[in-house]
Structure 1
C-alpha cells in the first residue's frame, strides 16, 4: 500500500520540536489500524462523530494480532456500524508519530461499499462513553465538516487530520 503522508506533532501545532529527526523505532511502540471510506447506495459515506472529544473519524480501528487488514475492516465495520462491507479499492497508508504517547500509528485505508442492511452495533465501552454516533454525508460534506471542526483532544487532532487526508485523496 502506498505511503501517503506522515503526521508529526509540529504539523498539528502541538509541539515546536522537530521530531522527524528522532529515531522513532527505538523508543516508540508500534500500532497498526485500518480505516474505511464506506459508501452506501446513495454514494454517501459513513462518518463517525465522537461527541465527548469533538472530532470526526472514519470507521475502523486496531488490527488484532494475527488478523489480516481486510478482515480487521470487516470486523470494525460490523462493530461500529452494524454493517457488512465489500472492499473495492485501497486508498493508502498514513503514519502518525504521537510523541506524547510514544506511539507510531500505521493506518491503512480502504474504500468499501455496504452489502446488506445495517444491524445492531457492538460498541466498546470507550466508544459508548465517547458518544460515538454514525452519520451519512457526501464526500464534499465530510471534508467540509472535518475542515471546520476543532477536536478537543490530542488524539482527536491526529485522528481527524489523518482521516481528512484520506478523504481528500478521493476528492483530487
Structure 2
C-alpha cells in the first residue's frame, strides 16, 4: 500500500511543541488501524461526527491481535455503522507520530461499498460518550466539512488531518 504521508505534531501547528518529533519512532507504542471511505447506492460516503470532541472521521479502528486488516475493517464497520461492506480498492497508508501519547500509528485506508442495509450500530461506551453519529454526504461535501471544522482535542486534530488526507487522495 502506498505511503501517502507521515503526520507529525508540527504538521498540525500544535503550539508549544518541538518542530520535530521528540522520539521519532524510538520508544513509541505501535498501533495498526484500518479506515474506509464507504459509498452507499447514492454515491454518498459515511462521515462520522464525534460531537463530544468536535471532529469528523472515517469509519474504522484498531486491528486486534490475530486479525487481518480486512477482518478488522469489517468488524469496525459493523460496530460503527451497522452494515457490511465489500472492499473495492486501496487508498493508501498514513503514519502518525503522536508524541503526547508516545504512539506511532499506521492507518491503512480502503474504498468500500455498502453491501447490506444499515441496522443498529453496536457502539462502544467510548463511542457513545463521544457522541458518535453518522451522516452520508458526497465526497466533495465531506472534504468541505472537514476543511471548515476545527477539532478541539489533540487526538481530534490528528484524526481529522489523517482522514482529510485520505479523502483528498481519492478526490484527485
TM range (shorter): over 0.9
**1:170: Cα distance to partner?**
1.0
Q: Which deviations, in whole Å up to 9, do the C-alpha atoms of 1:29-77 show, x marking residues without a partner? A: 0011000000000000000000000000000000000100011110000
**Hey, what does 2:52 align to over in structure 1?**
52
**1:169: Cα distance to partner?**
0.5
1-structure distance, mates of 2:29, 2:17? 22
User: Which sits farther off after the overlay, 76-85 or 22-31?
Assistant: 22-31
The question of whether the paired residues in 1 share the 8 Å contact of 2:55 and 2:149 is answered with: yes
2-structure distance, mates of 1:26, 1:54? 31
Q: Which runs of 4+ in 1 moved over 6 A?
A: none
**1:26: Cα distance to partner?**
2.6
2-structure distance, mates of 1:128, 1:160? 19
**1:116: Cα distance to partner?**
1.3
1-structure distance, mates of 2:103, 2:170? 27
**Hey, what does 1:147 align to over in structure 2?**
147
**Hey, what does 1:167 align to over in structure 2?**
167
1-structure distance, mates of 2:160, 2:137? 16
Question: Secondary structure at the residue paired with 1:26?
Answer: coil
**1:17: Cα distance to partner?**
1.6
Structure 1 gap segments, 5+ residues each: none
**1:23: Cα distance to partner?**
4.8
Superposed CA RMSD: 1.0
1-structure distance, mates of 2:23, 2:150? 30
2-structure distance, mates of 1:23, 1:79? 34
Question: Secondary structure at the residue paired with 1:24?
Answer: coil
**1:16: Cα distance to partner?**
4.2
Instruction: Using structure 1 for the length normalisation, give the TM-score.
Output: 0.97
**Hey, what does 1:19 align to over in structure 2?**
20
**Hey, what does 2:114 align to over in structure 1?**
114
